[in-house]
């Protein structure tokens, strides 16, 4: 599983002109399932992003997590994070999970996040989304959880 997390002042997702998810200060996370990923990797990615310390403490150091700050969490499905860009000028998406697996794992992450965090919004799986955000910092981290026994 891959998560591209960005600390934001605000973020939103529109589908066909309608806002489907929006947050104020918090994290906007692009979420991608790869072949071989299961609920185990999804849970590990969620635990990592909920605990990842990207918010400043009183001393100005990144020592606080989204859980500590109780900020918003906007989860957006994004299969292109799994792109293989090693050769040529056109990405291959063969490392991405099949659409049904990607949807299942994204929905799992959302359900688990809503059980563990107060403010959770989402994009729409498979939709043509327009994502807007104000990256705070900018602060952006790429997180990856590999399946047990499956090297990438």
Kindly list the catalytic residues. Answer: 78-80
Placement of tokens 């994004």 in the chain: 78
- For 23-151, where are the alpha helices, taking DSSP H only? 39-51, 66-69, 99-116
CA distances to 48, 137, 151 from 54, in Å? 12, 10, 28
């Amino acid at each position: 599983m891959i998560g591209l997390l960005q600390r934001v002042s605000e973020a939103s997702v529109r589908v066909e002109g309608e806002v489907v998810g929006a947050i104020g200060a918090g994290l906007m996370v692009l979420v991608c399932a790869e072949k071989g990923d299961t609920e185990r990797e999804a849970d590990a990615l969620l635990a990592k992003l909920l605990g990842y310390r990207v918010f400043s403490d009183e001393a100005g150091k990144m020592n606080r997590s989204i859980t500590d700050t109780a900020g918003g969490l906007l989860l957006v499905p994004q299969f292109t994070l799994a792109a293989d860009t090693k050769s040529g000028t056109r990405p291959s998406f063969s490392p991405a999970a099949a659409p049904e697996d990607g949807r299942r794992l994204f929905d799992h992450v959302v359900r688990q996040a809503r059980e563990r965090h107060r403010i959770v919004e989402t994009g729409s799986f498979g939709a043509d989304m327009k994502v807007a955000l104000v990256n705070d910092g900018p602060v952006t981290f790429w997180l990856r959880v590999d399946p047990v026994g499956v090297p990438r």
